[in-house]
Structure 1
Amino acid sequence: MKKILTAALAVTIALMAQPILAHGLTQPRHGGIVSMSGETLFELVMKPKTLELYVIDDDDPVVASGMTAKLTVNIGGKLQNIMLKPASGNRFDGPAIKAPAGTKIAVLVIDKKSQAHLGTTFTIK
C-alpha cells in the first residue's frame, strides 16, 4: 500500500509541475535570441537579408496583423528606428541590420485596437 501511495504522490507532483514547466519557455523556436518581459516572449531572428520578430504573449502567439512593431537600434549611441511589417501568424518582418556586439535593440509592439504596449530590449553579444 505504501508503494502505491508513493507512486500516486509522484504522479500527482509530476502532473502539477507540468503547467509550470510549459509556461513561459524561453528557448528560441526560430533560431534567434529570446527576451522575456513579464509574460511576453520576444524572439529576434537576424538573417543576412531580413530580420524577423516573433511575439508570444501569455503563451499565445500574438496576431501580427492586429499590431504595429518598431525597433530602435542603438549602436554606440547612434539611434535608428525601424518599422516592422506584420507577416504570417505572430511574425513581423523588417530589413536586415548589422548589429555588432554591444548593440542594444529596443522592441515596441502596440495592439492597434486596445493600444496595449508590449516591449523589451535585446543586447547583442
Structure 2
Amino acid sequence: MKFMHFAIASALAITPAYAHSDTKPRHGGQVVEVGETAFELVRTPAGVSLYVRDDGDDVPAASMTAKLIVTTGARKSEIPLVAAKGSQFFAKGAKIPAGSRVGVLIINKQSQARQSATFNIK
C-alpha cells in the first residue's frame, strides 16, 4: 500500500504545468503575457493595433480604454488607442520604430481595474 501512495505522489509531482493562455501571435504581432492576460501588439503601415485576451478568451475592447507609452532613445510619447472590433484597439497612422520600448496600459471602464505590459520592439 505504501508503494501505491508513493507511485501516485511521484506521478503527480512530475506532471508538467501548462500556461492558460496561448502565447502564439494570432494577428502577426508580438505577444507578451502578464498573468492570465495576453497582449498582442501589431505594427502595420496603416497604424498600430493591440489585441487583448484573458485566459485564452478575447476581451471586448469596447469595455476598456487603452494607451501606449513609447520610448525610443531619450524620446517618450503617448499614443491613445480607440476600441475597434472585438478585442482590437487601434491607432491610425501610429508608427513605432524597431528598438523602441512600449508600455501598454488598459483600464476597465466599469471597475477601473488597470493592467499593463511592456514590449521590446524587434
Indicate whether 1:95 and 2:96 are aligned.
no
Indicate whether 1:84 and 2:81 are aligned.
yes
C-alpha distance in 2 between matches for 1:47 and 1:27: 18
Q: Which has more helix, going by share of residues?
A: 1
C-alpha distance in 2 between matches for 1:89 and 1:52: 12
C-alpha distance in 2 between matches for 1:93 and 1:27: 20
SS at match of 1:88: coil
Q: Which residue of 2 aligns with 1:107?
A: 104
SS at match of 2:118: strand
C-alpha distance in 2 between matches for 1:86 and 1:95: 12
Aligned residues: 108
SS at match of 1:65: helix
Measure how far apart 1:98 and its partner are.
Answer: 3.5
Q: Which residue of 1 aligns with 2:5?
A: none
Measure how far apart 1:95 and its partner are.
Answer: 2.8
Residue in structure 2 matching 1:38, options 31, 35, 47: 35
Q: Which amino acid aligns with 2:61?
A: A
C-alpha distance in 1 between matches for 2:39 and 2:64: 14
| Structure 1: stretches of 5+ with no match in the other structure | 1-15
Contact 1:66 1:112 (C-alpha < 8 Å) held by counterparts: yes
Q: Which amino acid aligns with 2:85?
A: S
| Structure 2: stretches of 5+ with no match in the other structure | 1-14
Residue in structure 2 matching 1:60, options 46, 57, 61: 57
Compute the TM-score of the two structures, normalised by the length of structure 2. Answer: 0.81
C-alpha distance in 1 between matches for 2:92 and 2:74: 20
- Cα RMSD for the two superposed structures: 1.8
SS at match of 1:89: coil
The percentage of aligned residue pairs carrying the same residue is 47
Measure how far apart 1:60 and its partner are.
Answer: 1.8
SS at match of 1:113: coil
